[in-house]
Structure 1
Amino acid sequence: MTYNTQLKRLVLPEYGRNIHQMVDHCLTIEDRDERTRCAHSIIASMSKLFPKIREEEDYQRKLWDHLAIMSNFKLDIDYPTEPLMAEKFTSAPSKVPYTAGHIRYRHYGKDIELMINRAVSMEEGPERDEFVMLIANHMKKLLLSVTADGVDDSKIFKDLADYSHGILRLDPQTVRLHEFKIVAPPSNKKKKKR
């Protein structure tokens, strides 16, 4: 008895082994016209397997692309659409451009730097003071996420002054930041019924 695990791996397993065998047979046909007719009958069988695909806008192109993939791009026929090229799958993706900006304190991230720069550019007043307090409390939360021992407010005030080049200063004698507690996640254990 032959098991599927002993046979060759399917390129597109959603079409099944029979469609793949039909594609393999089509590759062995010598006459180009006969091979093209065989490919059209394979496409008809593929569309019957997935009738929902006919609702898509460009479903014929998708089926012909799948046929090219299953034949390992070796099927030499008259394609009704532009055939998919193997180079599309072998080429490396283009490099993602990342900003080369330096982050002074990585645990705060780039957004804190941007918010502090925004606060520095604001006019002095109660709105700026509230914004600076929000930033400082958020900095404390971020620092707590990487430091389990707790965070001293003076550390946050020092970092805030350092980021703003001494423009934003909070007095540790008069200003207190929120106290955040690290809450343990709920356990997934089920309670026993009595």
Structure 2
Amino acid sequence: MEVKTEAVSQLEYNSLREPLIIPEYGRHLQKLIDQVTEIKDKEERNKAAKYVISVMGSLNPHLRDVPDFQHKLWDQLFIMSDFKLDVDSPYPIPSREVLNQRPEILNYPQNFPKYRFYGNNITYMIDVAMKWEEGDLKSALILVIANHMKKCYLSWNKETVEDEVIFQHLLELSDGKINLFKTNEELSNSHNLMKVNKKVSNKSQFNSGNKNTNSKNHKKKTNNNNTKNHKRN
């Protein structure tokens, strides 16, 4: 009875254990690194650290000889030792400050544009056009942008649209710097642009229809072959 009581008293509960720094390696490896950290002789500590690296690499044997992967293992070794391990590393030793450093905030695109049906790419194209020098190339680019805006508008509206509406939107999106009202330019016919949109949608439907037809034909052939083999047997 005393032996059983003593054995129970030696049990460790997860609630009493320290949390694992990198749980993927397990608690046994974490304890091994803690023991290596407490070794007083630096030469022995270096040998033990290399042994721990080999154990960590054995979990991914196809990657353990890759230089980048070796660098990652050494970084993880120092992280799991809570940066207390003093050994000679073949790579720069990471620091706690660098690990906890937050990345810079990304500049996300405009989330709520005034005319969503044009998309963010139109805004980028307009910004590029405004930076170009005056000339035929810039005029041609602006006309291409306006026609693309008209096509996007028709995809969303499904009806005809006057060129003046597109000119007004372009004027607003360019902060008044691109004004096609002053020119005699005319955009492509709405009917022709709608034909292009229909062709694109028909192609996508045709491709999806072919996939479904091919899958159905494959299933029919498989069922027929299974039926023939069953009759032969």
Tell me the TM-score normalized by structure 2: 0.53
Question: Which whole-Å CA distance do the structure 2 matches of 1:26 and 1:53 have between them?
Answer: 24
- 1:24-60 superposed Cα distances (whole Å, 9 cap, x missing partner): 3334x35243544432321121223322234423554
- Distance of 1:132 and 1:30 partners within structure 2: 72
Judging changes above 3 Å, is the alpha-carbon distance between structure 1 residues 38 and 55 closer, same or farther for their aligned structure 2 residues?
closer
Q: Secondary structure at the match of 1:53?
A: coil
Give the secondary-structure state (helix, strand or coil) at the position aligned to 2:87. coil
What residue in structure 2 maps to residue 123 of structure 1?
136
Identify which of 24, 40, 45 aligns with 2:50: 40
**2:87 corresponds to 1:78:** yes
**C-alpha RMSD of matched pairs (Å):** 4.6
How many residues are matched?
180
Cα deviation 1:100-154 (Å, max 9, x = unaligned): xxx9977541213424665x82339xx956x555322211244457x55756233
CA gap 1:4/1:139 in 2 versus in 1, 3 angstroms: farther
In structure 2, relative to structure 1, the CA distance for the partners of 1:158 and 1:149 (3 Å cut) is same
Gaps in structure 2 of 5+ consecutive residues: 1-10, 220-233
Distance in 2, matches of 1:132 and 1:2, equals: 73
Tell me the equivalent position of 1:20.
30
Q: C-alpha deviations, 1:46-77, integer Å up to 9, x for none?
A: 223322234423554332211011122122x2
Paired-residue identity, %: 29
Give 1:90's aligned amino acid.
Answer: N
Q: 2: distance between equivalents of 1:3 and 1:141?
A: 67
TM-score, structure 1 normalization: 0.61
Larger RCO, structures 1/2 (Cα 8 Å, 6+ apart) = 1
Which amino acid is 2:146 matched to?
Answer: A
Higher Cα Rg, which structure:
2
Gap change, CA 1:171 and 1:52, over 3 Å in 2: closer
In 2, distance between residues paired with 1:10 and 1:159? 58
Residue 170 in structure 1 maps to residue 180 in structure 2 = no
Q: Is the counterpart of residue 69 in structure 1 residue 79 in structure 2?
A: yes
5-14 or 159-168: which moved more? 5-14
**1:47–1:54 Cα contact (<8 Å) kept:** yes
Partner residue in 2 for 1:90: 100
What 5-or-longer segments of structure 1 have no aligned partner? Answer: none
Are the counterparts in 2 of residues 160 and 168 from structure 1 also a CA contact under 8 Å? no
Tell me the distance in 2 between the aligned counterparts of 1:8 and 1:149.
63
CA distance in 2, matches of 1:152, 1:6: 71
Supply the distance in 2 between the matched residues of 1:122 and 1:105 (Cα, whole angstroms): 28
The whole-number CA distance in structure 1 between the counterparts of 2:87 and 2:177 is: 65
Considering fraction of residues, name the structure with more helix.
Answer: 2
The one-letter amino acid of 1:111's match is M
Counterpart residue number, 2:161 = 152
Q: Counterpart of 2:99 in 1: which secondary structure?
A: helix
